[in-house]
Structure 1
Amino acid sequence: MFDELWILIPLAPFILGGFAIWSKHKQKEMEMGGSQQRMLDDPDANHMREEIRTLKDRIQVLERIATDNNSATDLNRQIEELRNR
């Protein structure tokens, strides 16, 4: 059994290199997890998310208005309703 142990000696640098790469990856993964948690707790980030959600809703309405077959007066009325929101 110990006679075949010498075969592992040339493989040691590859095993150590793989372990080093894996440990750096895990370290970066842990750092990213912490920054994501800070982003979830940040009030500015929450405000930005709400603003983006509102803008997406408005874009959907504008797309619907632009693609519907309405007369010019209907379009003007709908645009004015959006401005009054």
Structure 2
Amino acid sequence: MKDYVFTKLSEDYAKETCSWKYEREYSRYNFSDWDIVVENLWDLSIDKKRELEFIAIILSNELVAYGRISLKEDMPLQREYQSLL
């Protein structure tokens, strides 16, 4: 079995995901360039939101995927999270 590592999505990892390009029906998942992501204040570019909501998935020291975990608004952790922003 392969050993995947789950960690925070750093800014460098976030920038890397912006360079990933998919073809045909998956092209809807392409991000804009990092500069546009920052200019538009997308959550991926906001340090606190990225650190709290996004994860990097690493295999053999290489970023292979990322994910986002969001909490429901009525949950105690969501209220605590909002107080951090």
Relative to the length of structure 2, the TM-score reads: 0.21
Pick the structure with greater CA Rg.
1
Structure with greater helix percent: 1
Relative to the length of structure 1, the TM-score reads: 0.21
